Amino acid sequence: MAYTNKKLFYNEEMAVYCRVSTAGQNIEQQKTLAKIYFAKNGMATDNVKYYLDNGISANKLISEKRPEFQKLIIEIQKGKVKTLVVQSRDRLARNFYEYVYLVKILYKYDVNVIFSDTNQHPFSNDLSIEAFYGIFAQNEGRNIASKTNVALQQYPNSLWGFDVVKTVREDGKSSKKYIPKLELEKDIRSFFSSIKNVNSIEELIKIFNKFRRVFKKNPLKLLRCLRNPFYAGYFEVQDGYVKLNYVTPFITLNDFKKVQEILLKFEKEMDLTIEETNNRGYLQPICSICKGKMVFRPSEFGESGNYVCSKGHNRNFIEVSKFNQLLSEHFPLVLNNIDIKKLKKDVFSSFLKFEKDYMKQISFRENELKDVNSAIVNLIGVPNKTKKMNVLLKKVRTIKRELEELSENIEKVKESRKGINLFIKSVTDELANKLKNYQKDYLLQLLYSKVEVSPDAIFYYVRFGSYIEMEEKINE
């Protein structure tokens, strides 16, 4: 995947597309996500233009009936948009072939695509990979995690280490104050104070191990605490920090900044250490003995954790790094045993069904148009029928628009069908080699429905079993 330098977007015209399905949903949350992304990445927003489709479902309406989306496409085709920011893939299209059609437009006009939802995988310059993501766009949309909200960052409902005191003012409005918990105040101050004088990664890890036991928190949560200016009584914005007068701080802003300098200095080493300690499996394994879910048990800070049976089968455990290694090594084996002919047959059958459905609708609309035209001819010269004539003429225009839309949909299906051979070949022959680790993580979760672990073997089950020509047990 190509590397994207966000700083290059400064002088480009940027577009933000937002869509919510119902009037009851808040489109401002999607706008806020985009603004947070700009602020976090130091991106200029002078040339940003927003396209907002409010209360419009992509599942129920084709793209032509999303007015702001259509305006955006026109601007892209004019070469006026070079960067598109959108929350997630499912905001753009309702199904695979419509998404592929859009992706080709974005490629053609060299548009950089940014997803503001951090759970989305970055937009790929490889059509086979991006099309694969597009297949699951609608399912992704149903499982998106809750989004970062600026108001919650300034007024969190709860935050570790703080007591939240709610009061009602004289004007009837409520307010919050955040006061350090007495039982944690001394230790949290000591934690921050210890970090600002660190000289080596070994010393930093030692401090984390010490306070990990004190607080009974994993290192990632402790790191988030150290990086949160709320503990200094401030909120971070693009140009600096804003003081929060309703927060009683644990430390001064200057001390907080010193801690950030230390964390930045050892950032790579610390991230690798935390990743190794907290790294989970691509999937949560199942105990083959009792069929219960195995649970993650962290080891010492910096060492790989283990999956163990939650129901007391002590002999049945596996190191996380070993578990991931085995799944990763056998992932290409699964892809290489896909029944290509059957997959092609079913995909083409699906496209054919789409096309036949559209053709049926066209035939129905054409017959309806003939009947309306006949009714219009019969009214010509008949007095006092102007109102009825206008109704019929309006119906003719509506039917013609629907016929145009159906014809365009058929063309889109045909366009997608042309590229299906290349797409399937890429999935089976090239995809496993092209994927980065985070992409492989994503696909492993899609392909494997569950994985069972026994003391001496791994059994895996695939979602697309009807296309896999194999029965495999992976021995350790």
Q: Parallel, antiparallel, or unpaired: how do β-strands 83-86 and 112-115 relate?
A: parallel
Over residues 45-59, the pLDDT tens digits come to 778 999 998 865 544
Q: Residue 190 — very low, low, confident or very high, per pLDDT cuts 50/70/90?
A: very high
Evaluate if residue 209 carries a pLDDT over 70.
yes
Mean pLDDT of 275-297: 83
Domains of the chain in start order, with CATH, are 13-153 (3.40.50.1390), 178-278 (3.90.1750.20)
Evaluate if residue 72 carries a pLDDT over 50.
yes
Q: Residue 231 — very low, low, confident or very high, per pLDDT cuts 50/70/90?
A: very high
Tokens 């939240």 sit on residue: 164
Tokens 């009714």 sit on residue: 375
Q: Supply the pTM of this predicted model.
A: 0.41
Q: What distance in Å separates the CA atoms of residue 18 and residue 344, rounded to the nearest whole number? A: 35
Q: Residue 153 — very low, low, confident or very high, per pLDDT cuts 50/70/90?
A: confident
Q: Residue 67 — very low, low, confident or very high, per pLDDT cuts 50/70/90?
A: confident
Evaluate if residue 163 carries a pLDDT over 70.
yes
In percent, the amount of the chain with pLDDT more than 90 equals 29
Q: Where are the alpha helices (DSSP H) in 89-196?
A: 96-108, 127-135, 137-142, 150-154, 182-195
pLDDT at res. 8? 47
pLDDT at res. 473? 45
Evaluate if residue 286 carries a pLDDT over 60.
yes
pLDDT greater at residue 221 or residue 152: 221
Over residues 301-349, the pLDDT tens digits come to 767 788 898 887 878 888 888 888 888 887 777 777 777 777 777 778 8
- Closest Cα to residue 105, out of 116, 90, 93, 115? 93
Greatest mean pLDDT range, 13-17, 379-383, 415-419, 458-462: 13-17
Q: What is the largest CA-CA distance in the chain?
A: 97
Mean pLDDT of 225-249: 87
